[in-house]
Structure 1
Amino acid sequence: MRSQKRLNEIRKLPCVVCGRSPVDAAHSNQSKDGKGMGLKACDSKTIPLCRNHHVEYDQFQKMNRSESVEWFAKMLEKTERMLKIDTNSDSVF
């Protein structure tokens, strides 16, 4: 499912790993989330990643596929918390 609103909100956040901006709305690489040949996963399965971390994630540079599944789930949970934080609240970093 596509959601331009979700993608726009993700792009307003800092990188979920390092806190830098700008970010990409990085989609899950897992078929269970709708990823397929030439298809992106559902937009609800996106996290904010700076360009460097996005490339590392997509190319499995620092973890294998099974490790990336667990890592992405943790980063998605953190992203959901970040989306709910008031701008006057403490940072998640």
Structure 2
Amino acid sequence: MRSQKKLNEIRALPCVRCGYPYSQAAHSNSGKHGKGKGIKSSDEFTVPLCHKCHFLFDTYQLGTRQESEALFGGWLEKTERMLNLKDSDVF
């Protein structure tokens, strides 16, 4: 699934790892989310990561593949909470 709207919503959030205010939409690196050789996972499985954290995640410098999947799972949950809070804001 590709969704420019979803990616833009993700990019509007701060980094889910370090809190840096500017982020990128980082896709899951897990096959269970549709990742394959030369294939990105669905946009449904994206989290906001700053450039530095995105690089560290994609190059497995934050842990093994298994540890990275666990980290990503937590970030995905936190991202959903952040999006829900943003949607519920009343201005």
Q: TM-score, normalised by structure 1?
A: 0.90
Superposition RMSD on alpha carbons, in Å? 1.5
The offset of 1:88, in angstroms, is: 5.4
Q: Distance in 2 between matches of 1:31 and 1:62?
A: 18
Q: Distance in 2 between matches of 1:39 and 1:23?
A: 22
1:32 alignment partner, SS class: helix
The offset of 1:62, in angstroms, is: 2.2
Aligned residue-pair number: 89
The offset of 1:22, in angstroms, is: 1.5
The answer as to 2:60 corresponding to 1:60 is: yes
Residues 37-79 of structure 1, C-alpha deviation per residue, up to 9 Å, x if partnerless? 1110000000000001000100001200001111100000000
Identity over the aligned pairs, expressed in percent? 53
Residues 8-27 of structure 1, C-alpha deviation per residue, up to 9 Å, x if partnerless? 00000000011112211000
Q: Distance in 2 between matches of 1:75 and 1:36?
A: 21
- Return the letter of the residue paired with 1:35: K
The answer as to 2:20 corresponding to 1:20 is: yes
Q: Distance in 1 between matches of 2:83 and 2:58?
A: 23
User: 5+ unaligned residues in a row in structure 1: which ranges?
Assistant: none
Moved over 6 A (4+): none
1:75 matched to which residue of 2? Answer: 75
